[in-house]
Amino acid sequence: MTEKEKCKQGLLYNANYDRELINERLIAKDLCQEYNHLKNSDSKGRTSLLRKILGKTGENICIEPTFWCDYGYNIEVGENFYSNHNLVILDCAKVTFGTNVFIGPNCSFYTASHPLDVEQRNEGLESAHPITVGDNVWFGGNVVVLPGIIIGNNSVIGAGSVVTKDIPDNVVAVGNPCRIIKTITGNHP
């Protein structure tokens, strides 16, 4: 079984020394660097390059530079996706965003997890766990979402939160660790 196959199954795999994975990351990072250097006024070029980087996109997508990812092909975004500056998605596993997702500046989504055992960690082993974000989700600035998290539809994640556990539909959640503070009912602020 290849290291990439182990990764897809959520098993420990060697990310640091596997030539195939290293090459795929280099391709994605070169494309991200190219994207980050496009003129902001080049909206067609930006959209075209995002479609080349990401695994799946809706028609209406905007990611303000800078944007970095590990592979790109593991990222799927729905219609009306917007991210403010400095988005980081470490997509060793699938990262899926629904429709109408809005992300504040300086947000990060991490699918990689490293062993607590120092010998395994020093061998370059890690595992990867998918992140799933529902429809109509808003992330405030400086949010970090950890591996394996599911965030439900219509929820709001407050600025500065570190999401360590799943978040259900229709809630406001904030803090470190992120916790539910309010259920959203109706269409009011």
Q: What is the pLDDT of residues 120-153, one digit of tens each?
A: 999 889 999 999 999 999 999 999 999 999 999 9
The answer to whether residue 188 sits within a structural domain is: no
Of residues 77 and 189, more confidence is placed in 77
Does the structure show a pLDDT above 70 at 64? yes
Residue 188 — very low, low, confident or very high, per pLDDT cuts 50/70/90?
A: low
Residue 187 — very low, low, confident or very high, per pLDDT cuts 50/70/90?
A: low
Q: Which of 37, 85, 114, 129 is catalytic?
A: 114
The answer to whether residue 116 sits within a structural domain is: yes
Does the structure show a pLDDT above 60 at 5? yes
The answer to whether residue 136 sits within a structural domain is: yes
Average pLDDT on 31-40 reads: 96
Does the structure show a pLDDT above 60 at 50? yes
Residue 189 — very low, low, confident or very high, per pLDDT cuts 50/70/90?
A: low
What is the domain range of residue 163?
A: 3-183
The answer to whether residue 140 sits within a structural domain is: yes
The answer to whether residue 81 sits within a structural domain is: yes
Please state the pTM of the whole predicted model.
Answer: 0.95
Does the structure show a pLDDT above 80 at 102? yes
The answer to whether residue 90 sits within a structural domain is: yes
Q: Percentage of the chain with pLDDT > 70? A: 98
Active site residue 188: no
The answer to whether residue 41 sits within a structural domain is: yes
Evaluate the CA torsion angle 96, 17, 19, 1 in order and state its sign.
negative
Q: How many domains does the chain have?
A: 1
CATH of the domain at 156: 2.160.10.10
Alpha-carbon distances, residue 52 vs 17, 61, 126, 176 (angstroms): 26, 13, 27, 35
Residue 185 — very low, low, confident or very high, per pLDDT cuts 50/70/90?
A: confident
The answer to whether residue 189 sits within a structural domain is: no
Q: Classify 106 in phi/psi space as left (phi over 0), alpha (psi -120 to 50) or beta.
A: left
Does the structure show a pLDDT above 70 at 115? yes
